[in-house]
Chain A
Amino acid sequence: MAFIELDNVSKVFGQAEYATVALKQVTIRMDKGEFVSIMGPSGSGKSTLLNIMGCMDIPSEGEYRLNGTLIQKLNDRELSQIRNKTVSFVFQNFALMHNFSVYENVALPLFKRKMSLKEKKEKVDYYLHKLGIADLSDKNVSKLSGGQKQRVAIARAMTAEAELILADEPTGALDQKNGAQLMELLCQMNEEGKSIVVITHDEKIAGYTKRIINIVDGVITEDRKKER
């Protein structure tokens, strides 16, 4: 049984003559510990695919199984549990809560965990140290640079300790140096056993991954594994 199983998944937005087909019968199998990049031009459906993988959206047709669980059958509470424990995200625009501190943002995935405040703090501090941003803990995220923000976003994804990390154009808002550092971090996380899916249209970024899936107009045109 694969970790991610997408079987003939289609996604249609809108209805009747206004309907837009974002994904057409996409089938993907991904095992635990894989590092995959999904490439394609703008509007090709790669973000829609990532949202379905991350249980933030559900397919219009087909079946999506994550770790053996059929996602379409789950209710809001069950989906939210998967988003909290199994999947974690890194977004292009960082998706940090403005006016909240670095600590509050990084601790976000722990809100439902049965842990004491002390344990939560220890965990958050551990990842802040790991990413070299411990000194920014009390700082408001809106006062950080792009590179620092993305590190906070990565720290948040790591704090969740989810098995699957989904990154939507994670280097899009970063300069080359910060982009490379971020990809190194993702590689490190993959080496630690995390499954990672990165959306990108940058060949260099895709170069860090072990498998590249190309998607055009909602259809998978290429799926190749490579050695790094």
Chain B
Amino acid sequence: MTISSIKNQFKAHPVTTALIILGLTISIVLISIGISSVRNTHLLIQQQVHYAPQNATKIELELSDKQDVHALFKVFDGISDQTGVILDRAKMFHNGLMAPVTPEYWTKQVVQRFPLETGRYLNITDIIHGEKVALVGKARGKGVRTKNGKPYILLDNEEYEVIGIIGVKGKTTKAIDYKIVIPATSLSSTLLSKLQSTKTIPFLIHNIYTNTYADEKQIKQNAKRLFPEVTCTASPYGETEGIIAPNRGGEIYISIMVYALAIINAINLTAFWIHERKYEIGIRKAFGYSNADIVSMLFWEMCVINLIAVVIGFSIQWMIRSLLSKWLDYPVEITSTTIFAAILFVFATAFFTTAIPSGKAVKIQPVEAIRG
């Protein structure tokens, strides 16, 4: 009955019905994009936390005068075998942009922090000899060139041989897919001179197995002994520090705004729709429809209309998903969450769009409506 009624409404009021469906379709696509955005942001944060340095401590070396950065690595002598050092906040010029780089350092053995799709991880020789080698995330494939059959990338216009590709096979892992990891002992001359001119050099020490209190103590002692003019400060490094959460607020805000506008639009159109159907509602009342029957009929009709909008919205989204994903830089997918949200959307929107105009429908007097 509801389907047949909707079919008849389409015939009777094609423009109004189409406008309601159009508004709701746009809304469902944007809501779905909003949900994908939130989901991807959440996933990205989870990945960043997963690959963040564990049990980390921030070590800041405040230099009194220009200092040889390479020599500074002596402060890490004697730290635990599994404790790694990262030069924090390092950036190098790559592919026309300043790209974040992770210069890593170990004293005795390298602990692999990122999964590799191909190639090998840094080894202790690379670290000791300051080899110009790099691990690059799989999304940075465009920046990899070949010379004499060997892949390399340019960082600060210096060639670094690509020895491994970071990434999880068959999966997009945004937190690591753009990584560039080099030995901290093979910094470019540009970065070195930049660091040397900077008064404070930030390091992170981290250990996957245990805390780094003993290492922190050792570093402080070394600094005092080797570089009396250098001030060494240590502070805890929070689990979520350094996590870059993309600002999806705009997209979510737009989704909510469009949804609100679609609802207002649908309420207006439904009110107009009910006004246009005054005669029909009057007849229905004359032949036994109660006010509750009328409201229920309108609610289920709106549910069907919303369902049509959901189906069209998801179909459009499915058809242009690759375009959307490319444009928005995250996968826009139809998942159980989006389907659940869509069901919620169908009933919530049907409720909102029926609740207010229904008041009008209830007030319709069959006698007046039939007389016109």
Q: Which residues of A contact B (CB under 8 A)?
A: 47, 51, 54, 56-57, 76-77, 79-81, 83-85, 88-89, 91, 93, 95-100, 104, 108-109, 111-112, 156, 160
Given A98-B12, A99-B8, A99-B11, decide whether A111 and B370 contact each other with a Cβ distance below 8 A.
no
Question: Is the C-beta of B81 less than 8 angstroms from some C-beta in chain A?
Answer: no
| Partner among B11, B12, B284, B286 whose Cβ is within 8 Å of the Cβ of A56 | B286
Interface size of B as a range: 20 to 34
Task: Point out the residues of chain B lying under 8 angstroms from A57, CB to CB.
Answer: 365, 367
Asked if B290 contacts A80 (CB within 8 A), the reply is yes
Query: Could you name 24 residue pairs across A and B whose Cβ atoms are closer than 8 Å?
Result: A51-B367, A56-B285, A76-B291, A77-B290, A80-B288, A80-B293, A83-B285, A83-B287, A88-B287, A89-B286, A89-B287, A93-B370, A95-B279, A95-B283, A99-B8, A99-B9, A100-B8, A100-B280, A108-B284, A108-B287, A111-B289, A112-B293, A160-B287, A160-B288
Q: Are A96 and B283 in contact (CB under 8 A)?
A: yes
Q: In the bound complex, what is the Cα–Cα distance between A100 and B284 (angstroms)?
A: 12
Encode contact with A along B7-45: 1 for CB under 8 Å, 0 otherwise.
011011000000000000000000000000000000000
The complex places the Cα of A47 from the Cα of B367 at a distance, in Å, of 9
A84, closest chain B residue (CB): B288
B319 interface residue (CB < 8 Å to A): no
* A-side contacts of B280, CB under 8 Å: 97-98, 100
Q: Does B202 touch A at the CB level, under 8 Å?
A: no
Kindly state whether residue B292 has any CB partner on chain A within 8 Å.
Answer: yes
Q: Which of A83, A93, A99, A111 contacts B286 (CB 8 A)?
A: A83
Q: A80-B288, A93-B372, A108-B283 are in contact. List 17 more A-B contacts (CB 8 A).
A: A56-B365, A79-B290, A80-B291, A80-B293, A83-B286, A84-B287, A88-B287, A89-B286, A95-B279, A95-B370, A97-B280, A98-B280, A104-B8, A109-B288, A111-B1, A112-B293, A160-B288
Flag whether B4 is at the interface (Cβ < 8 A). Answer: yes
A81 to B282, CA, bound (A): 15
Q: Whole-angstrom distance from the CB of A195 to the nearest CB of chain B?
A: 18
> A91 and B370: CB pair below 8 A?
yes
Query: Cβ of B290: which chain A residues have Cβ within 8 Å of it?
Result: 76-77, 79-81
A-contacting residues, B288-308, CB 8 Å = 288-293
Q: How near does chain A come to B4, taking the closest CB pair, in angstroms? A: 7
How many Å from the CB of A74 to the closest CB on chain B?
11
B286 to chain A, nearest CB (A): 6
A93 to B293, CA, bound (A): 24
In the complex the two chains form, what is the Cα distance from A80 to B289 in whole Å? 6
For residue B151, CB closer than 8 A to chain A, the reply is no
Assembly CA distance A112 to B11 (angstroms)? 25
Q: Which residue of A lies closest to B371 (CB)?
A: A93
Determine whether the beta carbon of B287 is less than 8 Å from that of A156. yes
Per CB-CB distance, the 6 closest pairs between chain A and chain B, nearest first, are A84-B288, A80-B290, A99-B12, A77-B290, A99-B8, A95-B370
By a CB distance below 8 angstroms, the chain B residues around A88 are 287
Residues on the A chain within 8 Å of B11, using CB: 99
Chain B residues, Cβ within 8 Å of A79? 290
**A54 to B284 alpha-carbon distance, docked (Å):** 14
Let me know if B331 is at the binding interface, CB within 8 A.
no
- Minimal Cβ-Cβ distance residue in B for A47: B367
A80, B285: Cβ atoms closer than 8 Å = yes
Q: Which residues of A contact B293 (CB under 8 A)?
A: 80, 111-112
CA distance A47 to B371 in the complex (A): 11
B9: chain A residues at CB < 8 Å are 99
Which residue from chain A places its CB closest to the CB of B8 in the assembled complex?
A99
B370 contacts A77, C-beta separation under 8 Å: no
* Interchain CB contact under 8 A, A56 and B367: yes
Q: Min CB distance, A162 to chain B, in Å?
A: 10
- A77, A95, A109, A111: most-surrounded residue (chain B CB, <10 A): A95
> Bound complex: CA of A77 vs CA of B371, how far in Å?
23
A156: B residues at CB distance < 8 A: 287
Cβ–Cβ contact B8 & A109, under 8 A: no
Determine if B115 is an interface residue (Cβ-Cβ < 8 Å).
Answer: no
User: What separation, in Å, do the CA atoms of A160 and B370 have in the docked complex?
Assistant: 19
State in angstroms the CA–CA spacing of A95 and B281 once bound together: 11
Which of chain B's residues have a CB closer than 8 A to the CB of A111? 1, 288-289, 293
**What distance in Å separates the Cβ of A4 from its nearest Cβ neighbour in chain B?**
18
Is B366 on the interface with A (CB-CB < 8 A)? Answer: yes
Contact string against A for B residues 254-298, beta-carbon threshold 8 Å, 1 for contact and 0 otherwise: 000000000000000000000000011011111111111100000
